[in-house]
A and B are shown apart, each in its own frame.
Chain A
């Protein structure tokens, strides 16, 4: 009897579970959570909450009836949230997206945006955008699919930053070539600061530094290795791996570089004056956000910083190459209840009143040209802004991302292996190539 009861309970629990079980791996018919016209949901990891609220307020000034419910997460949490929502038919109306794999993962749930763009900005709408942003927005689309499932909101270059205070004190020159980099690092050694702070714990940072080196050696070669028209074991790429390793073996990077994260530690150290150079990107200008109070002295009006490009490599390209891409792009759920409103919000945030609010915070560079902050706090800040948006961004040819997360991970792992001495450049190249063949099938 006792046993029977127990069986009964188990059976009840099982029946119940099976009754409610949706299967893993099934496709679901997506529905938006939007409650009809005039109300939208937005979820993303970027822009930050405070800025997002300003953008919403700016949009509502012109559209008082619109209701936008926004939630901003940390990036890893956002990925979990988005995946769960997409799988449970509660996809937000507007979503933040990374180009490539993330956009492609949700492609089936996203609405093509070129009609919205054309309706808002006219037939030549593509002219408004920096070319690399548009190129990356379609990265990974299946052959023949020319749709834009996401449009860039913010873009960036990846580059180096100098602490000009240290450079001036030491009468040092910003290095333009690899040899100058080495001699500058030697010149700056012995202080309380790291001459070249490499926060290499993060895979993304390792990859962008490597891509700057590789493109300076042979512009564009890694992307050929990626699409299979060349290989990662090409001596020029092996050489790039070798130069990456030299950052560690030749004492350029600080001790323990592979254990230091870019955010918050590396960035904090640089801002506190504990480093003379650091590889980050255009977004570093956000340190001088005039809407923030109590900025550290170096960040006030960008007074202590200067951006520069990764030094050229002996035997490589004569000029440093520009690497960059999308910081964050936006997509619209295919099943949004109010596509017109969603389009209006999206285009407003990319190039309208909302975009102006976003750009005013110097969060990163706008995806469209000619959009500038209303107020600069210093001439230096304005001069850096102009360098980034007018001189550099239009010239960006090379992507800071690889096309698939598998390759981004394989490259990041290989670079980590070189940094810790577990892999030789040749072995690292072979590992990445092996993974590439797996990915390309």
Chain B
């Protein structure tokens, strides 16, 4: 009985203390996450230029959005971006990690070289690659002319059919070192005795990679997959600098289109609508990943 009373008396105090500990995080979360989401959603129901009083239009912006061919292009481009950056980045990154995990002379230097693009400013990368791809005076075209490989003498960024893929190539170049680093970290965690056992069992290199190393890196694959999806959805600077979303919106991504609507076309309401959809896509894809694969790869817990 006394125990029971005791429990009842201290519970609210514990609760209060707990809340107090949580408060700083709650406040920050509220200000920087919850509030902008609510604000954004509200703005998406307005015809509003961001400065002057807006006009409530209900869900009109959403209707307009799904009839907007440029929005559909951005969805398609995001799909390509997710598919064509995550897979090649993972494969090349894994390959590099395997190579640079060996005791190679100067491997620290190689690791640094492959990782450098990831720490460069996307703006710098964009300007440099625009010049590399320039069919008139760029390195790729000059190489093509020198070797007779006409395939290289093409304005890949200037052609609406190829612009998004050219941007994806640059993105893969930029972020492969990052995947490599993740895989290197993952490789360090693999217990050597497992590899030794595999060797004793007569597994060759290929067999070891396929049946031991690759499956054991599951957490790394999943982390890269999630980071890749989020990164793809958030892509802005690189595309903005490389193509400005063009030509004729062919390489438009959700964030570049949002920026154009909000700040060039003064349609903050419509831009907010795009942001809401972007948020939904990000949340749904993250949640379904957690659903499908468990949250172990996020928290580091083995499942």
Residue numbers of A with Cβ under 8 A of B are: 1, 5, 8-9, 12-14, 16-18, 20-27, 76, 79-80, 83, 86-87, 101, 105-106, 108-109, 194, 197, 201-203, 254-261, 264-265, 269, 274, 405-406, 409, 413, 416-417, 419-420, 422
Are A76's CB and B263's CB within 8 A?
yes
| Contact (Cβ within 8 A) A259 B157 | yes
Do B265 and A419 have beta carbons less than 8 Å apart?
no
CB-CB under 8 A from A27, the residues of chain B are 52-53
Complex Cα spacing A26 to B48, Å: 9
- B-side contacts of A255, CB under 8 Å: 135-136, 141, 153, 155
Residues of B near any A CB (own CB < 8 A):
11, 15, 18-19, 22, 26-27, 29-31, 34-35, 38-40, 42-43, 46, 48-56, 127, 130-131, 133-137, 141, 153-160, 163, 243-244, 246-250, 259-260, 262-266, 268-269, 272
Asked if A260 contacts B134 (CB within 8 A), the reply is yes
- B40 surroundings in chain A (CB, below 8 A): 24
B265 contacts across to A, CB distance below 8 A = 405-406, 409
Docked-complex contact B155 and A258, CB < 8 angstroms: yes
Q: A25-B54, A108-B52, A419-B247 are in contact. List 17 more A-B contacts (CB 8 A).
A: A5-B15, A13-B30, A13-B34, A14-B30, A17-B31, A24-B272, A25-B42, A79-B264, A83-B262, A87-B51, A105-B52, A106-B51, A256-B134, A256-B155, A259-B135, A259-B159, A422-B160
Min CB gap B100→A, angstroms: 34
Is the CB–CB distance between B263 and A420 below 8 Å? no
- B249 x A413 contact (CB < 8 A): yes
Residues of A within 8 A of B130 (CB): 259-261, 265
A256 to B246, CA, bound (A): 13
Contact flag A12-B54 (CB < 8 Å), given A17-B35, A256-B135, A416-B246: no
- Contact of A20 with B39 in the complex, beta carbons under 8 Å: no
**Whole-angstrom CA separation of A26 from B127 in the bound complex:** 39
Q: Are A14 and B15 in contact (CB under 8 A)?
A: no
Verify B19–A12 contact, CB threshold 8 A. yes
Q: Chain B residues near A17 (CB, 8 Å)?
A: 30-31, 34-35, 38
* Measured CA separation A101–B267 after assembly (Å): 12
Is the beta-carbon distance between A259 and B26 smaller than 8 angstroms? no
Output the least CB separation between B58 and chain A (Å): 13
Q: Which of A76, A194, A261, A264 contacts B259 (CB 8 A)?
A: A76
Task: Give the CA-CA distance A87 to B268 in the complex, in Å.
Answer: 12
Chain B neighbourhood of A274, CB < 8 A: 137
**B53 pairs with A25, CB closer than 8 A:** yes
Q: Chain B nearest CB: distance from A198 CB in Å?
A: 10
Check A416–B43 contact: CB distance below 8 A.
no
Nearest CB on B from A425, distance (A) = 15
A198 to B171, CA, bound (A): 26
Instruction: Please tell me which one of the listed residues A8, A80, A202 contacts residue B19 in the complex, with CB atoms under 8 A apart.
Output: A8
Q: Tell me which of A12, A87, A203, A260 has the highest count of chain B C-beta atoms within 10 A of its own C-beta.
A: A260
Q: Is the pair B134, A83 in contact by a Cβ cutoff of 8 Å?
A: no
Partner of B158, one of A22, A106, A257: A257
A260 in contact with B136 (CB, 8 Å): yes
Q: List 15 A-B contacts (CB under 8 A).
A: A20-B31, A24-B46, A24-B48, A76-B259, A79-B263, A83-B268, A106-B51, A108-B51, A197-B136, A201-B243, A202-B244, A259-B247, A416-B248, A419-B247, A420-B159
* Contact B49 A105, beta carbon cutoff 8 Å: yes
Look across to chain A and name the residue whose beta carbon is closest to the beta carbon of B161. A420
